[in-house]
Amino acid sequence: MDIQPFIDRRARLLDRMREGVAVLPTASEKVRNRDAFYPFRADSYFHYLTGFDEPEAVLVLIAGEQPQSILFCRDKDPDKEIWDGFRFGPEAARETFGFDETHSISTLDEKLPELIANQPALWHSLGFDVEWDARLGRALNAVRAQSRAGKRAPATIHDLRAVLDEMRLIKDGHEIALMRRAADIAAAGHRRAMRLTTPGRWEYEIEAEFLHEFRRQGSQFPAYTPIVASGPGACVLHYVANDRRMQDGELLLIDAGCELDGYASDITRTFPVNGRFSGPQEDVYALVEAAQEAAIAAIRPGVHFMAPHEAAVKVLAQGMIDLKLLHGSVDGVIESESYKRFYMHRTSHWLGIDVHDAGEYKIGRPGDDHWRPLAPGMVLTVEPGCYIRPADDVPAAFHHIGIRIEDDALVTPAGCDILTAAAPKSIADIEALMAERST
């Protein structure tokens, strides 16, 4: 593993902190039932700064003239390693991950007061984990108790996330390479799904094909629970039951992305179970595709975060009127928000280590804030949709048609680069790929 990007990020954070001490624990292990644990996943911020993915680890950063990066981690333990596998231990962790110092996690509570004493500021994600808030509170009190010996507790507490979120918004080369690969793997999953979907198969069989493709290509986890929604399920935004038998004539909406070395991809494709779009399905699909094209065309440095959404909504509003789903003018439909009956979510979110990645969407002082302008290195999804539930005032031909098309866009100096372009999207490409099924 190339550890330099992690060392560089710590250096950049230490530079931005200027002074003070940061304390950042990784995630805690979670029991699923009795002796069985959920698969461990490092805390996103912790992974971003260390690449060290063992549980029971804490990063301490000391800013100033001689910046220091210190890791507390589990000791080597030959007995435990027989059961649970390899652990680095402090010495190998220091050498492998480029820390200035490493210590046994068992010494943390004893060392914390020394580490924070006489520092002007403490950087911490207050409120993220109440047990950690209490632990740091105890360390602060331990320092205060030594005031007559000349020890001083930090007078200021900063939220570490505020500075880290800004850093995470702009992806570095190492992150972009991983996200490209995560996007390629997810796109391969979608191609596989198109090749294997037929009437009579079950949604979970297609979900299994994604898990197979993700794992086969080295992805550790799905980035989120895959949505494999046929027929009416396509209009349920967070449908995850994936337990229905797919019928001839229906659409299948699949929102599935993988996580590779900590980085997410997020792709949605919608296609006909039988491989051929019906007339009404094609009408709605072409509309969502046009909305997505307009949103993608709006992405470039300097435009604000909501510009792609506004572009998509404009196209969708006109299309909903043309299809007689709504009545009135485009401006009227947008003004009254009546389009939200069929398109009720936003078009984009940041993407990165978290599928809904870190980073404020608005900037400026509260009361005088505005949507953040896009900048090269940001990654956002572009995912317009149209979800038509049956109703008396809606043409019956459109009932249960639920379509979303989602790609991942990297903002570049000239516009954007679609990382997920390898997942077929045009009606012609989808039908051509699905036509290969029977040959």
Question: Within positions 319 to 378, which residues make up the interface with ligand GLY, using CB under 6 A?
Answer: 349, 355
Of Mn ion, ligand GLY, none, which one sits near residue 224, judging by CB under 5 to 8 A according to partner kind? ligand GLY
Closer by beta carbon to ligand GLY, 237 or else 303: 237
Q: What's the start-to-end Cα distance of the chain, in Å? A: 42
Residue closer to ligand GLY (CB basis): 388 or 405: 405
Span interacting with Mn ion, options 74-82, 163-171, 259-267, 277-285, rule CB under 5 A: 259-267
Q: How many residues bind Mn ion (CB under 5 A)?
A: 4
Q: Which is nearer to ligand GLY, 102 or 268 (CB)?
A: 268
Among 250, 266, 357, 407, binds Mn ion (CB under 5 A): 266
Question: β-strand 58-63 against 20-25: which pairing, if any?
Answer: antiparallel
**Cβ closer to ligand GLY: 52 or 263?**
263
407 binds, among ligand GLY, Mn ion, none (CB under 5 to 8 A by kind): none
Among ligand GLY, Mn ion, none, the one that 53 touches (CB under a kind-dependent 5 to 8 A) is none
Task: Verify binding: residue 255, ligand GLY, rule CB under 6 A.
Answer: yes
Site string for ligand GLY, 215-254 (x = CB under 6 A): ---------x------------------------------
Q: Nearest distance from residue 225's CB to ligand GLY, in Å? A: 9
Element (H, E) at 334: helix 330-336
Among residues 290, 308, 307, 311, which one has the least CA distance to residue 425?
290
Structure tokens belonging to residue 434: 């699905």
The interface partner of residue 342, options being Mn ion, ligand GLY, none and the CB cut-off 5 to 8 Å by kind, is: none
Cβ proximity to Mn ion, 122 vs 423, nearer residue: 423
The minimum distance between CB 207 and ligand GLY, in angstroms, equals: 14
User: For residues 123 and 32, is the Cβ–Cβ distance under 8 A?
Assistant: no
Amino acid identity at 414: A
Q: Choose the one of ligand GLY, Mn ion, none that binds residue 184, judging by a C-beta under 5 to 8 angstroms depending on kind.
A: none
CA distance 215 to 204: 16
Contact pattern from residue 403 through residue 432 relative to Mn ion, giving x for each residue in contact according to CB under 5 A and a dash for the rest: ---x--------------------------
Q: How far is the CB of 349 from ligand GLY (least distance, A)?
A: 6
Among 261, 383, 407, 408, binds ligand GLY (CB under 6 A): 383
Cβ neighbours, 10 Å, residue 215: 14
Reduce the DSSP state of residue 269 to 3 states and report it.
Answer: strand
Residue whose pair of structure tokens reads 């449908």 in the numeric block: 239
Phi, then psi, of 363 in degrees rounded to 5: -130, 170
Per the structure block, which two tokens stand in for 190?
């979608």
User: Based on CB atoms, which residue is closest to ligand GLY, 289 or 408?
Assistant: 408
Question: Tokens 């981690």 appear where?
Answer: 73
Judged by CB under 6 A, the chain residues 397 through 426 that form the site for ligand GLY are: 406
- Extract the tokens encoding 288: 């969502």
Kindly indicate which of the ranges 170-178, 323-331, 398-406, 414-422 contains the residues binding Mn ion, using the contact rule CB under 5 A: 398-406
**Strands of 407-411's sheet, edge to edge?**
379-382, 407-411, 416-418
Phi first, then psi: give them for residue 256, nearest 5 degrees. Answer: -150, 130
Which residue reads 């999804």 in tokens?
A: 381
SS3 406: strand
Residue number, 250 or 406, with CB nearest to ligand GLY: 406
Taking the CB of residue 300, how many other CB atoms lie within 10 A of it?
18
Separation CA 292–CA 285 (nearest Å): 11
Q: What is the dihedral of CA 116, 118, 123, 124, to 10 degrees?
A: 40
281 binds, among Mn ion, ligand GLY, none (CB under 5 to 8 A by kind): none
Among residues 53 and 266, whose Cβ is nearest to ligand GLY? 266
Angle CA 355–357–359, to nearest 5: 170
Tell me which stretch binds Mn ion (CB under 5 A): 88-96, 103-111, 247-255, 371-379.
Answer: 247-255
Residue positions annotated with a catalytic role? 35, 238, 255, 266, 345, 349, 356, 383, 387, 404, 406
What is the sign, positive or negative, of the torsion defined by CA atoms of 422, 423, 429, 433?
positive
The two structure tokens encoding residue 358: 């870190």
Which residues form the interface with ligand GLY (CB under 6 A)?
Answer: 224, 255, 266, 349, 355, 383, 406
Which residues form the interface with Mn ion (CB under 5 A)?
Answer: 255, 266, 381, 406
